[in-house]
C-alpha cells in the first residue's frame, strides 16, 4: 500500500537536484539564491527532479500551476517541491 504522507525536506530535495546536475556533468548548486539559469538548472533537469522525487515519495506530486510559473531561483525550486510533496 502506498504511503500518502511521505514528504521530503529541503536538504533531500537539493540532493536530488544536485544528483541530476551531476549526471549531466554540471557543477553542484552552491547557493539557493542563485537563479536557475546561473545554477545551470534547465527545463529537463526540473522534469527529472520531479520524477525522482515522485519515485522517492511513491506518489504523483500535486501542485498549483501558478506556483510553478513563479520559479526564478534555486530556492523557488526547492520551495515548490517542498510544498508539492506536502500537499494531500
Contacts to other proteins by CB under 8 A: 36-37, 41-44, 46-51, 54-55, 60, 65, 68-71
Residue carrying the nine cell digits 517542498:
82
Which of residues 28 and 72 has its CB atom nearest to other proteins in the complex? Answer: 72
Angle at 75 between CA 72 and CA 76, to 5 degrees: 45
Grid coordinates given for 76: 523557488
Our CB check for other proteins shows the closer of 37 and 86 to be 37
Give the shortest CB-54-to-other proteins separation in angstroms. Answer: 5
Q: How far apart are the first and last CA of the chain?
A: 16
Q: Which is nearer to other proteins, 15 or 68 (CB)?
A: 68
Distance CA 58, CA 53 (A): 8
State the minimum distance, in angstroms, from the CB of residue 60 to other proteins. Answer: 6
Amino acid at each position: 500500500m502506498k504511503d500518502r504522507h511521505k514528504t521530503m525536506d529541503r536538504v533531500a530535495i537539493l540532493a536530488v537536484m544536485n544528483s541530476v546536475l551531476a549526471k549531466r556533468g554540471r557543477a553542484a548548486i552552491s547557493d539557493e539564491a542563485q537563479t536557475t539559469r546561473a545554477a545551470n538548472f534547465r527545463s529537463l533537469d526540473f522534469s527529472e527532479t520531479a520524477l525522482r522525487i515522485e519515485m522517492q515519495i511513491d506518489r504523483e506530486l500535486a501542485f498549483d500551476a501558478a506556483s510553478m510559473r513563479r520559479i526564478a531561483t534555486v530556492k523557488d525550486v526547492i520551495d515548490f517541491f517542498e510544498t508539492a510533496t506536502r500537499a494531500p
